[in-house]
Amino acid sequence: MVMVHEVPFPPQIITSKPLSLLGQGITDIEIHFLQVKFTAIGVYLDPSDVKTHLDKWKGKTGKDLAGDDDFFDALASGEIEKVIRVVVIKEIKGAQYGVQLENSVRDRLAAEDKYEEEEETELEKVVGFFQSKYFKTHSIITYRFSAKDGICEIGFETEGKEEEKLKVENANVVGMMQKWYLSGSRGVSPSTIVSLADSLSAVLT
């Protein structure tokens, strides 16, 4: 296992093929000079997909890529299978997490004039999925993004219970959910972006 801020992550996840842990980080906030960590994050990709879809950034340093929002937009929107695994460090109500996700996705869609009735309905479905849940420490939220059809399967598992799943099938909503975690300077976890940039720079070299 790979330790991400004392949280174990598998180095590889098997979906339709093996995906490798290529980015890791946390979401956190500083309160009165104390760092409070909320979640640990792992981003899983197939290195050969990265080479195929992001070849134009070959030879760039990790620092170059970390500051290049176009690169991360290409990663988020590319037809690449991705898994984002989020492990809870600090307990939180599912409703709070759902509202953060909803606000980010809605604002991003509205900024691109893509927030219509279908998107609103699908987003409400996602928020409803998290609404009744309590995110205990070590609970796991998994986003499995398919390569081509704009579908995401969200999984939630907490101690001793079977994983609950929700399929999200609106491509606009799915695209902005990816960007919540993967959109460079506008992503929710700067440490994950820096880690991904360094790994992907090495893959592309």
Residue pLDDT, tens place only, 164-176? 999 999 999 999 9
pTM over 0.85: yes
Q: What average pLDDT values come out for the chain (205 residues) when binned by 10 residues?
A: 95 95 94 91 97 95 96 94 97 94 96 96 97 95 93 94 95 96 91 97 96
Give me the residue label for tokens 């093929």: 17
Query: pLDDT tens across 118-149, in order?
Result: 999 999 999 999 999 999 999 999 999 999 88
Domain 1-47+78-182 in this protein, CATH class: alpha beta
Please give the backbone phi and psi of residue 78, each rounded to the nearest 5 degrees, phi first: -70, 150
- Please, which contacts does 136-139 make with residues 24 or more away whose CB atoms are closer than 8 Å? 136/88, 136/91, 137/88, 137/89, 137/90, 137/91, 138/7, 138/87, 138/88, 139/87, 139/88
The pLDDT value given to residue 33? 87
